[in-house]
């Protein structure tokens, strides 16, 4: 489940009435996710079936850039290494 959550960039914050969403390119269609006890679906960059009163925000990518799983892995490998800037 954590892999799916990371792939979708899904950050539910039910007490504050918001779900942040930052899907990586190529994120799959996923059905039956549960947020606040209700099933929700993710398809085509949209979250549907969410509980009433829960809004969706598109979370901002680090440094304002979108990336792939490979980009994230590359950044983690090179983080903190002088002479190897994170792109």
3-state secondary structure of 35: strand
3-state secondary structure of 77: helix
What's the sign of the alpha-carbon dihedral 59, 70, 42, 66? positive
Q: Could you report the per-residue pLDDT of 11-31, keeping only the tens digit for each?
A: 999 999 999 999 998 899 999
CA–chain centroid gap for 65, Å, is 13
Domain positions in the chain: 2-61
Using the predicted structure, report yes or no on whether residue 9 has a pLDDT greater than 60: yes
Using the predicted structure, report yes or no on whether residue 81 has a pLDDT greater than 50: no
Strand order, beta sheet including 46-48: 30-35, 38-43, 46-48
CA–CA distances in Å: residue 19 to residues 26, 71, 76, 81, 86: 20, 24, 25, 34, 28
pLDDT at 82: 44
Q: Could you report the per-residue pLDDT of 20-66, keeping only the tens digit for each?
A: 999 998 899 999 999 999 999 999 888 999 888 999 998 655 544 44
pLDDT at 64: 45
């Amino acid at each position: 489940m954590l892999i799916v959550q990371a792939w979708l960039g899904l950050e539910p914050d039910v007490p504050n009435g918001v779900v942040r969403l930052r899907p990586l390119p190529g994120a799959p269609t996923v059905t039956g996710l549960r947020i606040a006890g209700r099933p929700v679906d993710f398809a085509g960059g949209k979250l549907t079936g969410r509980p009433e009163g829960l809004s969706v925000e598109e979370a901002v990518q680090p440094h304002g850039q979108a990336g792939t799983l490979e980009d994230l892995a590359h950044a983690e490998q090179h983080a903190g290494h002088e002479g190897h800037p994170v792109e």
